[in-house]
Amino acid sequence: MSRRALTLLLAGFLVLALGVVGAFRPVPYVVLSPGPTENTIGEVDKKPVISIKGRETYPTTGALSLVTVAYQGGPAAKIDLLTALRGWLDPTVAVVPQESIFAPDRTPKEVEEENTVEMTNSQDSATAAALNELKIPYTMGVSVASTQKGKPADGKLRQGDEINAVDGKPAEDVTVVADTVKAHKPGDDVVFTVTRGKEKLDVTVQTVAGPEKQTLVGVNMQSTYKFPFDVDINVGDVGGPSAGLMFSLGILDKLTPGELTGGKKIAGTGTITPTGEVGPIGGIAQKLVGAKDSGATVFLTPADNCAEAMKAVPDGLRLVKADTLHDAVQALDALRSGKGEVPACEAG
C-alpha cells in the first residue's frame, strides 16, 4: 500500500473514531416527547384519579384526559448527540436547550420540588375553580411549601407554617405575599406573622437579590384551602400545573348530574386559577400527539396556545378554544347537545 493511501486510510479511521466519540458525548439539550394521558374521571392503579368524600357524586362516562410531556436529558442525565439528532428527525418530538427546562440557578432536585409544589397548587386551584363555578363557598390562606437551601428563609420559616401576614399586611393570597417581599430592597428585613402548630409568632427574614435582580427571601409558598368536603386527586408522578383545567372539569363532572362528555373521549390542557381563568402551557405539539394516541377526538386548548396548536394538530382531533373553565363547560354542553356555539382555535 502506498504512503498516500495509508495516510488517507488512517485519516478516515481518525475521522470515523472522532465521529463515533462525538456522537456519544453529552450535549446541553432536552428531548420532549408525548407522555402518558390520564382520564381524570377514570382510575390509576385501580384507584380513582379524583375521589370526593362528604358530597354527593354522580356517575360519569367517556374521558376527560390530562396530557403530559415526557423528557430525556437534563443536568443529572444529559443526552448524547446521537439522541438529539434522532429527536430532530422525529416530527412528534422537540429538542430544546436544557436551560429552557432547567434554569441555571436551579438544581434538578429543586426543579422536581417546584414541580411538586406546582402540581399541589394546581390541584387546589382546580378544586377552587370547580367550586366557584358551582357557587359553593370555601375559605383560603397561604402556607410555606418549602424553603430554598442557603437562602435567608432557610431555617427560619418551616414547611407547613401558615402565613397570616407580611409586615402587618394580611396574607390574602400568594401574590400579596410575593409582592410585599418584592417591594423591599435587598438587605431589608421582612416580618412574617405565621401560625406554627398552635403557636403564633413573628419571624424576621432579611431579603437578598435574586438571579434576575428581584428581591426574595427563598421561600416557596402554596395556597391553602378549607373546602366544605374532601377532594383527593391521585396522578402518581405527574408534576407541574398544566393539568388544572382537566382536574376542574373532572371534579365538576363528578359533582353534577348528567355527563359533561356525552360519552366522548375529551382531552385537554391548561393551567387554572381559582377564579377559573385558563392559562397557556408548554409542549402543546407533543400533548396533541399524546391526546390523539389515547383516542381523544376533541382537545380543549388554552387560547394563547391556539396558534401553535393549529400548526401541529393531528388529523381527526378537533381543537376547542378554552379561555375560562366556564367557557370549557359551555363548549362541552354544546358538543354534547349539538346546540350552541363551540369556540374553535383560529390562526393568530
Residues contacting 5, CB < 8 A, separation 6+:
none
The reported pTM is: 0.77
Sign of the C-alpha dihedral, residues 139, 244, 273, 60? negative
287 is catalytic: yes
Per the model's pLDDT, the better-predicted residue between 27 and 298 turns out to be: 298
Ordered by where they begin, the domains of the chain are 32-134+229-337 (3.30.230), 139-226 (2.30.42.10)
Percentage, residues of the chain above pLDDT 70 = 89
Residues 120-165 have pLDDT tens digits of 778 889 999 999 999 999 988 899 999 999 999 999 999 999 999 9
185 is catalytic: no
In angstroms, how far is CA 323 from the centroid of its own chain? Answer: 17
The answer on pLDDT for 342 being more than 50 is yes
Residues 279-293 have pLDDT tens digits of 999 999 999 999 999
Residues 56-96 have pLDDT tens digits of 999 999 999 999 998 888 777 787 777 878 877 888 888 88
Q: List the grid coordinates of 258.
A: 348528567
R_g (Cα) of the chain, nearest Å? 24
Residue 330 is inside which H or E element, if any? helix 325-337
State the catalytic residue, choosing from 65, 122, 242, 248. Answer: 242
State the catalytic residue, choosing from 156, 254, 264, 287. Answer: 287
Residue 147 is inside which H or E element, if any? strand 139-147
Q: List the grid coordinates of 331.
A: 363548549
The Cα angle at residue 278 between residues 274 and 283, in degrees rounded to 5: 125
Rounded CA-CA distance 145/139 in Å is: 18
